[in-house]
């Protein structure tokens, strides 16, 4: 077919050559005063016959060529009739200015998205994510407050615990203190203060490097401001793109994007803390149907019912937004009618086998990946390292539908204002404990109130209250914070927050996990 086309082209150019040679002559000696031919028109130097012949040759060749090329279906003739997907925005704008735009466009293109993809973008999208664009713990404008921010005594207790582990493991001289999701850096600050104090007391040497796994550049700056000397230890970035600085106690601090960036080094004791980190990891949602597990996906359509529970009626929304506005969601959770690639996930664990039809569950696969990395950082042979996971969550139960939005100190639907609302889930502690028990020794989960009391929070509070005997207001604050951290009623944190520890296989029980006999 190709040689055919070439042959026709050759004969086409012969006709052109003849015509061209004449027009060149015409250009060299242009008629001074062109005479009009018939009807007042000037036909140039071609006779009408010559012109029509040439035009005919050209038309025949083009038709021939077109037939050769177009096959059975001529796309050019059918332009506009061919389905195009996605449709262009009729307003002509396809710019993404926020996460709402991004989700609308993504859902238009790919169909509903998985809940975990929605949560991941909401929390850590580089330009519009909740954590990546603000300091949610800001005392004035923040959306929530955490235990380390309520009282420095919380971090002191964690520091003392790490010190007891260091002692139990025979004072390894090289320590890496790793924190996942350090927020403002307050917990690390208080941990270091008390840990360093006790190290000094026993007169041993400890070389401590700090690794902070933090997705947010905004929060990295806050952590640097708190932990480092702003004037003398700048926030720097190395050749591989990793941020680093030096703490005010002289420790090297490295900031890491994910758990994959943590390197395993021999003879280093890795002491790992994760406080309110696991609750910020994306979950997938599933519902059991007569035909097996189906995934809950996020849809953008007002015709779909929002299956997320409504705000409890006693929640007050103090801000300018009315409660109705906060329930009027743009996105909705809906059940995928068919299997999705993730439908297999619930079948991989025997925990979900016996659940009845209509059961709804949340599974956090990312939590399992982070957990496995933490476990790998323990050295079972040399008996080095420890992990302390602190979070709110459930024990001996499966989270069903715990995803919630937190906005200006209120619970709201997770499907409003994507990127402006914090999202959080109940941590599935039983799953974390059972998975890690295959590779190391696990202790807990136990209630926060019990753990803090066993570590001696009562004595420390007593000390502080005595120290502030001239400042009754301060004494009251110290006492109220203590109650908030340890009480077990619904408004306090003593029961709903849990402590889970992982230690090298065969380790003896650490402080905090059972009452002394």
Binding site for ligand SAH (CB under 6 A): 123-124, 131, 137, 146, 148-149, 181-183, 187, 213-216, 219, 275-277, 280
Whole-angstrom distance, CA of residue 415 vs CA of residue 296 = 13
- Minimum CB distance to ligand SAH smaller for 182 or for 444: 182
* Min CB(234)–ligand SAH separation in Å: 21
- Minimum CB distance to ligand SAH smaller for 277 or for 293: 277
- Minimum CB distance to ligand SAH smaller for 299 or for 422: 422
* Min CB(500)–ligand SAH separation in Å: 15
In contact, 86 and 109? CB cutoff 8 Å: yes
* Min CB(239)–ligand SAH separation in Å: 22
Whole-angstrom distance, CA of residue 218 vs CA of residue 137 = 11
* Min CB(507)–ligand SAH separation in Å: 25
Bridge partners of 275? 390
* Min CB(195)–ligand SAH separation in Å: 17
* Min CB(247)–ligand SAH separation in Å: 17
Q: What are the residues whose beta carbons fall under 8 Å from the beta carbon of 115, sequence distance 6 or more?
A: 282, 283, 284, 285, 295, 296, 297, 298, 333, 403
116: closest CA among 407, 364, 307?
364
CB atoms within 10 A of CB 354: 7
* Min CB(181)–ligand SAH separation in Å: 2
Query: Phi, psi at residue 359, to the nearest 5°?
Result: -65, 145
Half-sphere exposure of 507 (CA within 13 A, CB side): 31
- Minimum CB distance to ligand SAH smaller for 254 or for 294: 254
For the chain, the helix, strand and coil percentages under 3-state DSSP, each to the nearest 5: 40, 20, 45
397: closest CA among 439, 361, 421?
361
- Minimum CB distance to ligand SAH smaller for 130 or for 415: 130
Bond prior to 290 in cis (omega within 30° of 0): no
Give whole-number Cα distances, 239 to 39, 100, 243, 408, in Å: 80, 35, 10, 39
* Min CB(473)–ligand SAH separation in Å: 25
Whole-angstrom distance, CA of residue 236 vs CA of residue 245 = 6
* Min CB(217)–ligand SAH separation in Å: 10
- Minimum CB distance to ligand SAH smaller for 137 or for 228: 137
In contact, 190 and 159? CB cutoff 8 Å: yes
- Minimum CB distance to ligand SAH smaller for 276 or for 295: 276
* Min CB(266)–ligand SAH separation in Å: 26
Whole-angstrom distance, CA of residue 277 vs CA of residue 216 = 13
* Min CB(184)–ligand SAH separation in Å: 6
- Minimum CB distance to ligand SAH smaller for 215 or for 416: 215
- Minimum CB distance to ligand SAH smaller for 373 or for 483: 373
Q: What are the residues whose beta carbons fall under 8 Å from the beta carbon of 235, sequence distance 6 or more?
A: 220, 221, 224, 228, 243, 245
189: closest CA among 201, 177, 202?
177
> 404-407 and 252-256 as β-strands: parallel, antiparallel, unpaired?
unpaired
- Minimum CB distance to ligand SAH smaller for 103 or for 180: 180
- Minimum CB distance to ligand SAH smaller for 123 or for 192: 123
152-168 vs 457-467: helix crossing angle, rounded to 10 = 130
* Min CB(194)–ligand SAH separation in Å: 17
Whole-angstrom distance, CA of residue 316 vs CA of residue 270 = 43
Half-sphere exposure of 316 (CA within 13 A, CB side): 1
- Minimum CB distance to ligand SAH smaller for 199 or for 215: 215
Element (H, E) at 501: strand 497-503
């Amino acid at each position: 077919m190709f040689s055919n086309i070439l042959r026709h082209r050759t004969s086409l150019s012969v006709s052109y050559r003849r015509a061209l040679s004449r027009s060149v002559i015409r250009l060299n000696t242009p008629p001074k005063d062109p005479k009009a031919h018939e009807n007042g028109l000037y036909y140039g130097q071609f006779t009408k016959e010559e012109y029509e012949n040439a035009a005919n040759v050209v038309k025949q060749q083009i038709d021939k060529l077109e037939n050769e090329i177009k096959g059975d279906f001529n796309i050019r003739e059918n332009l506009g009739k061919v389905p195009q997907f996605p449709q262009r925005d009729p307003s002509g704008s396809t710019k993404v200015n926020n996460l709402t735009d991004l989700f609308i466009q993504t859902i238009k293109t790919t169909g509903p998205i998985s809940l975990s993809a929605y949560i991941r973008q909401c929390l850590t999208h580089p330009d519009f994510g909740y954590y990546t664009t603000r300091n949610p713990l800001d005392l004035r404008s923040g959306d929530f407050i955490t235990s380390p921010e309520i009282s420095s005594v919380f971090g002191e207790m964690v520091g003392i615990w790490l010190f007891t582990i260091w002692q139990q493991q025979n004072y390894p001289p090289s320590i890496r203190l790793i924190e996942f999701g350090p927020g403002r850096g307050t917990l690390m600050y208080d941990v270091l203060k008390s840990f360093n104090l006790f190290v000094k007391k026993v007169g041993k040497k400890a070389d401590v490097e700090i690794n902070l796994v933090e997705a947010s550049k905004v929060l990295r700056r806050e952590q640097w401001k708190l932990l480092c000397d702003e004037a003398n230890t700048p926030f720097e970035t190395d050749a591989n793109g990793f941020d680093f600085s030096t703490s005010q106690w002289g420790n090297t601090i490295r900031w890491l994007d994910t758990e994959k960036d943590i390197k395993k080094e021999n003879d280093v004791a890795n002491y790992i803390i994760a406080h309110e980190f696991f609750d910020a990891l994306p979950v997938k949602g599933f519902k059991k149907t007569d035909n097996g597990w189906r995934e809950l996906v996020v849809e953008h359509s007002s015709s779909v019912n929002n299956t997320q529970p409504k705000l409890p009626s006693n929640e007050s929304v103090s801000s300018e937004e009315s409660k109705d506005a906060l329930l009027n969601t743009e996105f909705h959770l809906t059940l995928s009618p068919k299997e999705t690639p993730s439908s297999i996930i619930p079948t991989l664990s025997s925990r979900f086998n016996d659940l009845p039809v209509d059961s709804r569950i949340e599974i956090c696969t990312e939590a399992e990946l982070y957990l496995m990395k933490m476990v790998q950082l323990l050295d079972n042979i040399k008996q080095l390292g420890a992990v302390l996971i602190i979070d709110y969550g459930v024990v001996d139960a499966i989270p069903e539908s715990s995803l919630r939005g937190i906005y200006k100190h209120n619970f709201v639907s997770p499907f409003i204002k994507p990127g402006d609302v914090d999202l959080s889930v109940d941590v599935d502690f039983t799953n974390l404990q059972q998975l890690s028990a295959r590779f190391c020794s696990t202790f807990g989960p136990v209630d926060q109130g019990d753990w803090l009391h066993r570590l001696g929070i009562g004595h420390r509070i007593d000390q502080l209250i005595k120290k502030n005997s001239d400042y009754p207001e301060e004494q009251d604050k110290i006492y109220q914070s203590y109650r908030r951290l340890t009480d077990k009623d619904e408004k306090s944190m003593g029961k709903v927050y849990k402590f889970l520890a992982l230690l090298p296989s065969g380790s003896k029980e650490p402080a905090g996990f059972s009452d002394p006999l």
